[in-house]
Structure 1
Amino acid sequence: MIDWDRLQNNLYSRNRTIRKSLDLCAQLYSKAVHRRLLKYYRSRNLRKRVPAKVISVGNIVAGGTGKTPMVRWLCKHFSDRGVSCAIVSRGYGRKRSKNDVTILNKSAHSRSWLNVGDEPYMLCRQLPDTPVLVGKNRYKCALEAIRHFGSRIIVMDDGFQHLSLERDLDLVLLDCERPFDNGHLIPLGKLREPISHLVRADVFILTRVPSARAEQNIRSFLNFVFPDIPVYGCFPRPVAVKQCLSEKRDPPEFLRNRDVLAFSGIGNPSSFAATLESCGARVKKALNFPDHYSYSAKDVNNILKEAKRAGVEAIITTEKDEIRLPSKIEIVKQFYCLVIEVQFTDEAEFCEWLDGRIGI
């Protein structure tokens, strides 16, 4: 996977000729995105509908905006109301598979994350009663979910750019602190589409809301540019500190006033450090790896050395990173991972809107 922050830093440090070339690449990329969008909207044969409600969770910025926790929240929300759900995912970072569709459920979650991707694997562990279907063709995945499990709602992970599957609801997540990154398209920035394409969204969800004032500033902008699209806010709420490769848990207060080393291979590592600090932890050292990184025994030893050098009391990572740690190394059990859930700033209002749109 591409480390966008490192790529941008390297590119911006080069001369103006390279910058102009990248600007041209961004323009060509923009035209390609427009052509692709027009192709799908001019030919309805390219867009397929399944006999279930489809909710897409996506974004327009490459990197982490909290899509996976939102997918989990949605499935739990509908399951609590007695509505059967399934998750369909591309399975980024997985090994190539001969199967069109790989099904994960509570009877098959023991397979390696390398074969399905870390995010689907994590969702399967967190939601054992919700089937997770992985494949490049999300339409086929959705059909299999309906055929095998009778799923009434299909939640499509990272689906905003996957136009071939018709959806009933497009949820677009925007990081409250950097909703559009630097405003440039790939490769000059992280935008996967022009900001104007957000008109396709049915709702905006601001993630990692740091304060009411920050949320209101972004809300005001979105309400001005996209007046017909509702906006809601949420933030990551720590619920536990779990020992890696174990089910032993402590409350988030375990981190209060502790010096920690944080390591992660996610799209937005700075947000992880900020969440730890919100628990009262002192992040003395942060090690950032590429997104979807597969840790080796050598990496584990290097992390331990860095922790010893920094003199920390605990080594902590994310739930997604825990899955990618080598499970046969006993010392990994000395690590912790932070368990988080999505908390809406206006949950009752959002739930009422969501249930009304889906019709339950």
Structure 2
Amino acid sequence: MKTKGLLLPILSAGLLIYATISVVRSQPNTPRVDPPLPPPRSTFERTVAGIGLVEPSSEIISVSSHLPGVVEKVYVKAGDRVKVGAPLFKLDTRALEAQLAEKEASVTALQASAASAEARVKTASAALKEAKLLLATAEKLTTSRTISADEVTQKRAAVETCEAALESSRAEAEAAHSQARASEAAKNMVSVDLERSTVTALVDGEVLQARIRPGEHATAGAAAQPYLMLGQTQPLHVRVDVDEQDAWRVSPEARAIAQIRGDSTRSTTLKFVRIEPLVVPKQSLTGAAAERVDTRVLQLIYRLEPSAHRFLPGQQVDVFMEELPTGKSSMPQTLATGG
């Protein structure tokens, strides 16, 4: 009886031991592997850390079109370096060229009309001068009764008629000149539109991105996606986000380094440029569970010093800034100071 009572517990214990051994044996034997590269680590004794975004020293310039139209030619591609005034892309200008020819013909015709009106002014002026001379002669002859009073009256009326004709001619000439100037202004406007049909670079820099192709339609003003993105990449800047709770710990005099993400051995020193005065909502989120989306950050701008490592615009880097002792660390009186 006792043997039968112990059989079930013994059998259960054996099955449990067997199951445990099977589970242990089924687990893969994964050896411990050290990370190929060390994680980001500061070289300073006391550190303020932040996420940096590499950007052109001019910041990114989004290029759009002045006028709507179909793109005829694109002169640059991503990676090209351009100078101020270099053409970037050109719109189809056939309609504008036709308008310009029409305006030029109109200007020529109106200038001829203005010249004709000026000639009529000169004719009217000469007629008035002659009428005044005849009137003066008639008035002298009145005393000797050589000419009648009616003839003098007629000559006086002729002077008044010539004066009215001169005023009318001058008004017509002024109107003709006004029309010619208006036509000239319209022609100049078309000429300006022709010039603006070729979008040019406003700064020396590098084409960071090209999203426009010949045959595509360009709209005037800001587009949903910039047609071209330019920037001065010599030198590059780093825009560092520092949590507002750590803002008091930063100092323009402190040393700073930037490390490439994924390889902390690749780093370079940073040169302080300025502090953006406005604390803004954090845009670059890390995805950490404890991170709040309502975090606000102070942005510091640093210049990347020459280095053997390549940094690219838009690249994120880990930035470590030295925290100076309380007596030496001080926020600038004006946040917009630069170096």
TM bucket normalised to smaller: under 0.3
Of the two structures, which has the highest relative contact order with CA contacts closer than 8 Å and spacing of 6 or more?
2
Relative to the length of structure 1, the TM-score reads: 0.17
Radius of gyration: which is bigger? Answer: 2
Relative to the length of structure 2, the TM-score reads: 0.18
